[in-house]
Structure 1
Amino acid sequence: MCIAREAVGRRAGEDGRAMEVINWRKSSHSGPTGGECIEVASLPGVIAVRDSKDPDGPKLALDQDAFGTFLARLKQQ
């Protein structure tokens, strides 16, 4: 399992107001085909997680403590 780095950008929406753009990131260890990776994105107050093979599928939104627990459990596998 690879864990991604996180990033969030901003751009102007059609009405000119700033809107958040979610930049999903995956590990550089993932390789060109993706493999068995998750992607993460940093959002205000949470870290979002999704399956890189199913980007339109379900997503998790974890606070920082829950994300730390999530990572610790993955490392135990």
Structure 2
Amino acid sequence: MLFNRNKSYEDVVPALDIKRLIMLVKKVLPDVVFNMANLEGNPFTYPEVQTLLDGITIGGHKVSDEQQIFSIRNA
């Protein structure tokens, strides 16, 4: 055998606690949603996506574009 492993998986990859994982997801989510929506041709800017995900509506955009942001977030 070319590779002899003597450590368990838990030793190699440290486990993160739930609070830290939730913080990381909340930090990265607007960026992921913006990038996916931008690839779909959605006209929302990054600050508008952040505002929309915080629960504040944005004027001057189609409702279908807003719904696309929410659909990407929920996917």
TM-score by length of 1: 0.24
* Higher RCO structure, 1 or 2 (CA under 8 Å, sep 6+): 2
More helix by percentage:
2
Structure that is richer in strand per residue: 1
| TM-score, normalization by structure 2 | 0.24
Instruction: Give the structure with higher Rg (CA).
Output: 2
